[in-house]
Amino acid sequence: MVAHSGTPGRSDQLRALNRPRPCRVITTRDIPTAIREGARTVAVLRVQDRWQVNDEWWRDPIDRHYFEMVMEDGRIRTVFHDRDANLWYEQRA
């Protein structure tokens, strides 16, 4: 068990967990092949998983296509295409 620090929480230090960040994705036939990071391009070695999320059709619809990818630098990255806005985002852990 961890003892309470006695320090009050501060709302100015709160942040959303796993907030998606806009990213630049290069695709071939709607499949990611690379991610642009400034002047650098990191190639996708393989897509190891993909799934779709379609939700809240009665309110604010969500239509996303997710890709979990192994990059040429060895990192595993997850991106999604927001089909309604036609924008790409990276979802980090």
Q: What is the pLDDT of residues 14-50, one digit of tens each?
A: 666 688 999 999 999 999 999 999 999 999 999 999 9
Task: Report whether 91 contacts 78 (CB < 8 A).
Answer: yes
* Ordered DSSP codes for 40-65: EEEEEEEEEEEEEEEE-TTSS-EEEE
Q: What is the pLDDT of residues 3-17, one digit of tens each?
A: 666 666 666 666 666
Phi-psi region of 74 (alpha: psi -120 to 50; beta: other; left: phi over 0): left
Confidence bin at 1 (pLDDT 50/70/90): low
The pLDDT value given to residue 59: 80
Q: Residue 61 pLDDT > 90, yes or no?
A: no
Q: Which amino acid is at 63?
A: D
Place of tokens 């809240």: 56
Q: What is the pTM of this model?
A: 0.77
How far, in Å, CA of 62 to CA of 34, rounded?
Answer: 24
Give me the residue spans of the domains in the chain.
19-90
